[in-house]
Amino acid sequence: MVGTKSDVGRTTLPRRQLGRALRDARQANGYTLEQVAEVLEISRSALGRLELGQNEKIKVRDIEFICEYYGLPEERTEYLKSLVVHSGTKVWWQDYRSLIRPGFNTYLQLEAAATELHFFQSLVIPGLLQTADYARNVEAYPPTSTMDEIERRVALRVKRSTILTRRHRPMRAEFLLHEAVLRTVVGSARIMARQHHHIADLSAQENVSIRVVPFTAGFPAGSAIPPYIIIDFLHNEPSVVYTEGAVGTMIFEEDDDVARFRDIFEAVRGAALQEQPSRDLLRTMARRYEQ
């Protein structure tokens, strides 16, 4: 588990993936950090930083040497070497970095590299589903924000959402939305009506599943559940879980933690309305907001 109240400025997603892969390979061989550091003639702290994704300057030949020592197959070695090359690549949201709240930069990297996203949300409509008007009201905090800052943050949200509608390999995403999210008025009834129509329209796409968890479902997982996102990747990279709150973010990476979140998700999914009834409810609520 990784916790942060600010961006993990010393790491990028490719470095995190590389570090975890090297740690898993070392542990699979039964080696300690000290043993590997001694054989490879590097410091234990340097190897530890590499496994945490905190080394900003990584040489491809060093990764090749480590992979050879761990006995990794050529295909796996080539993939890990490619992560070194991509670790310094500029990301599309870099121009918005001054507006991104602490911790969210890490999530954007995870989202950009994902193959599937699984959301449970009980507080606010997820950013990928938000209309510009809804996002504009959400982004009005803090009160000191200028109109230009708000509009740029809204633009970031709108641009992010195109991963669901792009022509080439649109993101597969599953959303479980608690009914409370849909009934919490943000901005005005007019904004909520358009927001609900927008969600209903998106739910008709093959790559998007949106289901409503009704009030009548109670607590299907046995207790109240905070919002979270399960993020899956290519190349058999381990899935992670991202959560956030008012004071910081948490990323769960351990297999047992991710498995527990999946179990919770399954329980909530089992209590949710099916896709068509959820879509019907969204359109019904939209009409009521219009009145």
Distances (CA, A) of 23 to 16, 20, 138, 279: 11, 5, 39, 44
Same domain (yes/no): 209, 110: yes
Distances (CA, A) of 167 to 96, 164, 170, 171, 207: 24, 9, 6, 10, 11
Domain boundaries, position 49: 11-86
**Is pLDDT at 214 greater than 70 in this prediction?**
yes
Does pTM surpass 0.85?
A: no
H/E stretch holding 176 reads: strand 172-178
**Among residues 22, 57, 86, which one ends one of the domains?**
86
At 92 the pLDDT is 58
**Tokens describing residue 5:** 């109240």
CATH of the domain at 19: 1.10.260.40
Of 65-74, 90-99, 179-188, 258-267, the one with minimum mean pLDDT is 90-99
Same domain (yes/no): 39, 105: no
**Among residues 24, 53, 86, which one ends one of the domains?**
86
Same domain (yes/no): 205, 238: yes
φ, ψ of residue 181 to 5 degrees: the values are -60, -40
Per residue in 63-111, pLDDT tens?
Answer: 999 999 999 999 888 888 888 876 655 555 556 666 666 667 778 878 8
Contact 87, 15 (CB under 8 A): yes
Give the integer Cα–Cα distance in Å for 261 and 251. Answer: 12
Same domain (yes/no): 82, 105: no
pLDDT-above-70 percentage for the chain:
88
pLDDT tier, 223 (very low <50, low <70, confident <90, very high otherwise): confident
The mean per-residue pLDDT over the stretch 151-167 comes to 90
**Is pLDDT at 178 greater than 60 in this prediction?**
yes
At 9 the pLDDT is 40
DSSP 5-71: SS--TT--HHHHHHHHHHHHHHHHTT--HHHHHHHHT--HHHHHHHHTT--S---HHHHHHHHHHHT
CATH of the domain at 266: 3.30.870.10
φ, ψ of residue 46 to 5 degrees: the values are -65, -40
- The C-alpha R_g of the chain, in whole angstroms, comes to 21
Same domain (yes/no): 240, 122: yes
**Is pLDDT at 4 greater than 50 in this prediction?**
no
H/E stretch holding 92 reads: none
Residue 95 located in a structural domain: no
Same domain (yes/no): 125, 210: yes
At 5 the pLDDT is 38
At 153 the pLDDT is 87
The mean per-residue pLDDT over the stretch 108-133 comes to 92
Count the domains in the chain.
2
